[in-house]
């Protein structure tokens, strides 16, 4: 499936910013057998004083920019065309939960994609005992790792309520879990914490999700969204699978991958610092259009 993706993130500052540095993770990824970036550009208005395009440790595309001139507004715009392939669901040949430790111990590599990086707590994701208690209500040691991933994802989808006003980007994962309210970032962080707590390596994926309007209603420009979901390692034979707990589905053609990491901190679309005073406002618009 071909998609054209357009993203615009704008900021307005109450007082002009006279300096700033930002790391942008906006460009969709090329993933062999799953997704191909045909072309893409990141535009910045105003133009930065410095710009560097690079890859980070997890092989995500990063655009580093620096500003040394005063500006009251800032706009980051992405235009990209992506070929997204439907990945057939693999047979469940994953080990039992009790056998995961043995398979993990056989892996000695520290390459970016290895599960060792996705087992422990990470900067924005603590492993409180409450996550293990919750996960163990739904799984048992003889259950396969793949079944456990889907079982925990479905349980969280049933127990959590999507609420855009319940949390912010900085809300601790345990707080969102205790409230049982949140957005896709919270659903994903909570699921990752549950999986890691029972020995399943899990990471965070940011991307775009195509939304389909109700039957008979027109598609609204800018109404699509950036989204987040979970990547879980289910043993040597199955490898990594991706699951969307917000929608209780295995990830498919409507999910476009931008970046992968341990938690949101590794893949945040915009991260940085600036020198200004007073409040700021931001606005996001996304269009994911099939071709």
pLDDT digits (tens, 9 = 90+) for 108-158: 999 999 999 999 999 999 999 999 999 999 999 999 999 999 999 999 999
Number of domains, the chain: 2
159 and 37 fall within a common domain = no
92 located within any domain: no
**Residue 129 domain-assigned (yes or no):** yes
3-state secondary structure 37-81: EEEEEEEEECCCCEEEEEECCCCCEEEEEEECCCEEEEEEEEEEE
Q: Are residues 115 and 244 in the same domain?
A: yes
Burial class (CB in 10 A: 0-12, 13-18, 19+), 85: middle
19 and 118 in one domain? no
> Same domain, yes or no, for 196 and 207?
yes
Which CATH number does the domain housing residue 200 bear?
3.10.620.30
Token code pair at residue 98: 């009790």
Q: What is the pLDDT of residue 217?
A: 64
CA pseudo-torsion sign 254, 198, 192, 177: positive
Q: At which residue do the structure tokens 């990547």 appear?
A: 231
What CATH number does residue 18 fall under? 2.60.40.2250
Q: Are residues 258 and 207 in the same domain?
A: yes
Within a domain: residue 90? Answer: no
- 224 vs 191, higher pLDDT: 191
Task: Give domain status of residue 128, yes or no.
Answer: yes
pLDDT in tens, 218-269: 655 545 779 999 999 999 999 999 999 999 999 989 999 999 999 999 999 9
Give the pLDDT of residue 220.
Answer: 52
**What's the pLDDT at 222?**
46
Residue whose tokens read 């599960």: 115
Q: What is the spatial distance between Cα 50 and Cα 284, in angstroms, rounded to a whole number?
A: 24
What average pLDDT does range 190-201 have in this prediction?
A: 98
The pLDDT, as a whole number, for residue 88 is 78
Dist CA 140 CA 146 (whole Å): 12
Q: Are residues 259 and 136 in the same domain?
A: yes
Question: What pLDDT does residue 213 have?
Answer: 66
Give me the residue label for tokens 């995961």: 100
Q: Collapsing DSSP states into helix, strand and coil, what is residue 228?
A: strand
- Residue 66: inside a domain: yes
Taking all residues of the chain, what is their mean pLDDT, rounded to a whole number?
Answer: 93
Residues 223 and 275 in one domain: no
Rounded to whole angstroms, how far apart are CA atoms 60 and 54?
A: 8
Looking at the domain assignment, is residue 216 inside a domain?
yes
Distances 8 to 48, 116, 268, 269, 283 between C-alpha atoms, Å: 16, 35, 15, 11, 8
For residue 240, list its beta bridge partners: 233
Q: Are 156 and 53 found together in one domain? A: no
Are residues 104 and 147 part of one domain? yes
Specify whether 68 is located in the same domain as 115: no
Angle 129-136/184-197 helices, nearest 10 degrees?
Answer: 80
Structural domain range at position 259:
97-266
The Cα 36–Cα 260 span in angstroms is: 15
**Residues 63, 115 within the same domain:** no
Q: Which residues neighbour 205 within 8 Å (Cβ) at sequence distance 6 or greater?
A: 188, 228, 229, 230, 231, 242, 251, 257, 259, 260, 267
In a domain, 240, yes or no: yes
Paired tokens of 118: 């996705």
Q: Within this chain, do residues 54 and 30 fall inside the same structural domain, yes or no?
A: yes
């Amino acid at each position: 499936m071909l998609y054209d993706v357009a993203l615009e993130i704008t900021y307005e500052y109450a007082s002009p910013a006279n300096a700033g540095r930002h790391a942008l993770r906006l460009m969709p990824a090329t993933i062999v057998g799953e997704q191909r970036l045909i072309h893409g550009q990141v535009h910045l208005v105003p133009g930065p004083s410095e710009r560097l395009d690079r890859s980070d440790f997890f092989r995500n595309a990063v655009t580093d920019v620096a500003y040394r001139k005063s500006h009251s507004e800032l706009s980051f715009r992405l235009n990209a065309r992506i070929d997204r392939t439907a990945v057939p669901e693999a047979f469940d040949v994953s080990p039992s939960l009790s056998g995961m430790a043995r398979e993990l111990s056989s892996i000695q590599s520290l390459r970016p994609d290895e599960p060792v990086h996705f087992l422990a707590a990470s900067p924005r994701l603590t492993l409180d005992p409450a996550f293990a208690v919750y996960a163990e209500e739904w799984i048992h040691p003889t259950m396969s790792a793949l079944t456990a991933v889907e079982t925990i994802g479905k349980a969280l989808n049933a127990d959590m309520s999507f609420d855009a006003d319940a949390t912010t980007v900085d809300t601790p994962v345990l707080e969102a879990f205790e409230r049982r309210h949140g957005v896709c970032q919270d659903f994903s962080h909570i699921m990752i914490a549950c999986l890691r707590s029972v020995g399943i390596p899990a990471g965070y994926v940011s991307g775009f999700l195509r939304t389909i309007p109700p039957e008979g209603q027109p598609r609204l420009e800018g109404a699509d969204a950036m989204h987040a979901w979970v990547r879980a390692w289910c043993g040597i034979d199955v490898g990594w699978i991706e699951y969307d707990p917000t929608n209780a589905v295995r990830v498919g053609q409507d999910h476009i991958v931008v970046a992968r990491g341990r938690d949101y901190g590794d893949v945040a679309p915009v991260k940085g610092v600036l020198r200004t005073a007073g409040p700021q406002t931001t606005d996001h618009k996304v269009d994911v259009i099939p071709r």
